[in-house]
Amino acid sequence: MLKIFQKILGVKYLINKASGEVHIIKNINGACGVDKMAKKNKLYATERKYQKLLKSGELKLNGCVHCFKETDTD
């Protein structure tokens, strides 16, 4: 997703739908492995959408050990 659209739309998170791993877009680095993620598994989320996913339990979400350490449970 182009960075200009991310800022306009307020997108903050990239979620891997297959693994439930959550990345903070502005903190993503090479160690995260986002470039290897299949497009069909990428879900871009705003803060509001992320909070809804957390509450719903639809996906078992876990923060990335490299860019979202605060919520990493592995």
- Global pTM value: 0.86
State the pLDDT at residue 2. Answer: 61
> Could you report the per-residue pLDDT of 63-73, keeping only the tens digit for each?
999 998 877 67
Cβ burial of 15 (10 Å; 0-12, 13-18, 19+) is buried
> Could you report the per-residue pLDDT of 2-46, keeping only the tens digit for each?
677 777 788 999 999 999 999 999 999 999 999 999 999 999 999
Distance separating alpha carbons of residues 71 and 51, to the nearest angstrom = 13
Radius of gyration for the chain, computed over Cα atoms and rounded to the nearest angstrom: 12
State the pLDDT at residue 1. Answer: 54
Binned at pLDDT 50, 70 and 90, residue 57 comes out as: confident
